[in-house]
Amino acid sequence: MKEKVQSALDNYVLAYKNNDKSLFKSLWDDQAIFEDPVGADPCIGIEAICEFWDFGHGNGMQITPTNVDTVICSNEGILKATMEVRNVNDNTGMDISIVDHFIVNDEGKITSGRAFWDESSISSPSDLNSFDINIDDFKDRG
């Protein structure tokens, strides 16, 4: 089981690094629940999770995980990373230090994902223009 969880987390990172929505979608169980950040209305089901992907990748946005570390226990995994959020259209960006918790089923599909981050997790790279994020607005992305 550990290999299935590690594979799901590795492919999650790979999907973001390669901006590969198809790979991202393939990782999730059809009835999965994804809460990003914790406290936001959860995305329930594969279509809502794909809408979340679209929300984060529209209008020149790219999200690249760096400094990735994982911990796997049974059918659960923790993914710690810095998500480098960049808008190539206007040279803005931010880094978000995240801790994601995933539960993976016997088929190797993610059934639950919860992303832990808040305003204190966000920093602005000195070589980019910063953009403000109001976490309450992010949670109400509806």
Q: What is the 3-state secondary structure (H, E, C) of 84-114?
A: EEEECCCCEEEEEEEEEEEEECCCCCEEEEE
Tell me what pLDDT residue 92 has. Answer: 86
- Domain assignment of residue 31, given as a range: 2-139
Give residue 121's pLDDT band: very low, low, confident or very high (50, 70, 90).
very high
User: Residue 44: pLDDT band by 50, 70, 90 thresholds?
Assistant: very high
The domain total for the chain is 1
Give the pLDDT confidence score for residue 62 in this predicted structure. Answer: 93
* Nearest alpha carbon to residue 129 among 85, 96, 98, 97: 85
What is the rounded distance in angstroms from the CA atom of residue 66 to the CA atom of residue 16?
10
Q: How many CA atoms lie within 13 A of 39 on its CB side?
A: 10
In DSSP terms, 112 is beta-bridged to 33, 103
Extract the tokens encoding 10.
């590795």
Q: Tell me, what CATH number does 122's domain have?
A: 3.10.450.50
Condensed to tens digits (0 to 9), the pLDDT of residues 62-94 reads 999 999 999 999 999 999 999 999 988 888 889
